[in-house]
Structure 1
Amino acid sequence: MRTLVLGGARSGKSAWAESLFDGDVSGGSLSGRVPVDYVATARPWPGADGFDADFSARIAGHRERRPAHWRTVDDVDAVEALRRPSAPFVLVDDIGTWLTNVFDRAHLWDSPRGSAAPWTDELVAAVRDWGGPGTGDCELHSPTAAGPAADGGEAGVVKQEPHLVIVTPEVGMGVIPEHRSGRLFRDEIGALNGRLADVCDRVVLVVAGLPLTLK
């Protein structure tokens, strides 16, 4: 299963995406210790006096909100993390900062539209081909699952399909950005979101913390 979660700034998209793994991956029957790889794409931004304090605080807030048993993956690119997943459940947050990092590293802000295609093509292919560790369902402990051990006080087992959740910003609903870099980012992330939606099984738009299923 691949789910794409879109939303504007402060829309609640990240919190909603995280809630998909908050003990209710299988209709609320899981124990709450779902093995999740959290692929963090944000990096502190340099500012005039060191790193951007506001952005660093936002990163810290996301980190503090995540369950302690989740594994944070922030030492490799998101594409590489998707190609070699080590957990059956993966959350990528978010594609906007990933694309910004691509433009920064490759110095593409003054380049023609479409210059990021080598990187975005790789990302779309990695999402399309993602299947989690192995290709079948994984087994998770559930306190409510029926089974030989259920009446003995121990958790039963449920089978669960691997799940990839991708968070991405929706930036096409506001005014036209004043600067070229803003217009370039808006156009490129919009095109990338459309391609990701094509290869995902489910697409959800989050507004004011409320989900609207688009696909």
Structure 2
Amino acid sequence: MRVLVLGGIRSGKSHWAEATISDTAGEPVRYVATGRTDPTDPDWSRRVDTHRSRRPAHWSTVETTDVATELRADPRTPTLVDDIGGWLTATMDRLDAWTGGSVRTDVDALCAAVTGFDGKLTLVSPEVGLTVVPATAGGRLFTDELGTLNQRLAALCDRVVLVVAGQPLVVKEAR
């Protein structure tokens, strides 16, 4: 079962995904964290620490932006990827997509890894387009790329859930 969990900032999407990835207490879960760490940003550090403190001790955590390789390395262990927006930002930075580079190859590789994943997979991603169009070219580029990526991932997933104010709304259910 592949699940895409969408929501806005502070919507509760990560918390909901963490609470639902494991059906049984003690089941191993691999948590793939894509967010950067920045010791010079105390607010960001607190956000990362909040996520870390919620994870059960028996979960393994991999902090990486190479999500496709991580998914291909172990396609059976229940895995939660949090979040796709962080992955996309790091990918756009690495490929200089802000000034003309393309993320297409990396997006294709991520989608192929999701398709090839045999275990339980939950992907967390920010939903875009629920507010004003960003005022900067970089902001518009990011929302365009993330919106397209979310659509591709939704097509590959069995279930899509939108979390609003901590409440899950099923957008797509497995057939």
**TM value normalised by structure 1:** 0.76
Residue in structure 2 matched with residue 125 of structure 1 by the alignment: 112
Does 2:52 align with 1:33? Answer: no
Residue in structure 2 matched with residue 183 of structure 1 by the alignment: 140
RMSD: 1.5
Give 1 or 2 for the bigger CA radius of gyration: 1
1:121-146 per-position Cα deviation (integer Å, ceiling 9, x unaligned) = 11011101111xxxxxxxxxxxxxxx
Residue in structure 1 matched with residue 66 of structure 2 by the alignment: 77
Deviation of the 1:76 alpha carbon:
6.1
Secondary structure of the 1:109 match is helix
Deviation of the 1:51 alpha carbon:
2.5
Deviation of the 1:86 alpha carbon:
6.8
Distance 1:80 1:120, change over 3 A: same
Q: Identify unmatched segments of 5+ residues in structure 1.
A: 132-161
Residue in structure 1 matched with residue 13 of structure 2 by the alignment: 13
What is the aligned-residue identity percentage?
A: 52
In structure 2, C-alpha distance between the alignment counterparts of 1:192 and 1:75, rounded to whole Å? 19
1:159-189 per-position Cα deviation (integer Å, ceiling 9, x unaligned) = xxx3100000002111011111100000000
Alignment of 1:157-168 (within 5 A): 162-168=119-125
In structure 2, C-alpha distance between the alignment counterparts of 1:18 and 1:195, rounded to whole Å? 22
Pick which of 186-195 and 54-63 moved more.
Answer: 54-63
Secondary structure of the 1:43 match is coil
C-alpha contact 2:4 2:123 (8 A) present in aligned 1: yes
C-alpha contact 2:34 2:64 (8 A) present in aligned 1: no
Does 2:36 align with 1:43? Answer: yes
In structure 2, C-alpha distance between the alignment counterparts of 1:86 and 1:195, rounded to whole Å? 19
Deviation of the 1:197 alpha carbon:
0.5
Deviation of the 1:75 alpha carbon:
4.5
**TM value normalised by structure 2:** 0.93
Residue in structure 2 matched with residue 59 of structure 1 by the alignment: 48
Residue in structure 2 matched with residue 146 of structure 1 by the alignment: none
